Amino acid sequence: MRYDKGHKDETRRHILDVASAQFRESGIAAVGLAGIMSEAGLTNGAFYSHFASKEDLVREVLTDALTRREERHKANLENGVALETTIRDYLSTRHRDRAGTGCPTAALVAEIARHPKATRDAFTGKVSDILTLVAEQIRQGSADDRRRKAITIYATMVGALQLSRAVNDKPLSDEILENAVEAAVAMANEQ
């Protein structure tokens, strides 16, 4: 059977999207290739015409999802969106409650620490790019000061989002988000 031009790229994109949502929602270790391919409407054998292994898929998902997040940060920077707006959006209850479409760092960082060097290298490069963009949104201080603040702000955001998702007490979860917003915004506005 012959497929239209671009079919393979579309299929690969579809597998990436399905895997990305499943990984973020359930965790990398909990998601099998059979479940990904079933949800994608494809056979297990089709997987290997797009990816060499599950680890290859994990790297591609991370790179893709973090590139998309990086593009949002770039757009915010280009459009003059304040860092405070980015922080408030990231630490929102909407983001907390939608792990499957949210930040891959907050959803997967603990698992990524146990993955092979190539996967961690891909993750490290993308996180570094995001930190650079956050630093560019900080208006005060030397380049080193802005970088230090960007790391602190991003770590606060990621950690608070993870913690807010982990607790089973909604008022406490909301309180974690609210306090993290205050701390991150204060750091961003610190002179």
Query: What pLDDT, on the 0 to 100 scale, is given for residue 191?
Result: 63
Answer yes or no: is 107 within a domain: yes
Evaluate whether residue 65 is within a structural domain. Answer: yes
CATH of the domain at 136: 1.10.357.10
Give how many domains the chain has, as a whole number. Answer: 1
pLDDT of 77 reads 85
> According to the model, what pLDDT value does residue 1 have?
55
- pLDDT tens, N- to C-terminus, the chain (191 residues): 555 667 788 999 999 999 999 999 999 999 999 999 999 999 999 999 999 999 999 999 999 999 999 998 899 889 989 999 999 999 999 999 999 999 999 999 999 999 999 999 999 999 999 999 999 999 889 999 999 999 999 999 999 999 999 999 999 999 999 999 999 999 998 86
For residue 95, being part of any structural domain is answered with: yes
Domain carrying residue 110: 53-189
Within a domain: 10: no
**What's residue 114's pLDDT?**
95
Whole-angstrom distance, CA of residue 5 vs CA of residue 133: 36
Question: pTM (2 decimals)?
Answer: 0.90
User: b/e string for 4-22 if b means 16 or more Cβ within 10 A?
Assistant: eeeeeeebeeebbebbbbb
In a domain, residue 153? The reply is: yes
> How much is the pLDDT for 8?
87
Buried b (16+ CB within 10 A) or exposed e, 157-168: bbebbbbbbeee
Asked whether residue 80 is assigned to any structural domain, the reply reads yes
Single-letter residue type at 113: A
- Please indicate, yes or no, if residue 69 is contained in any of the structural domains: yes
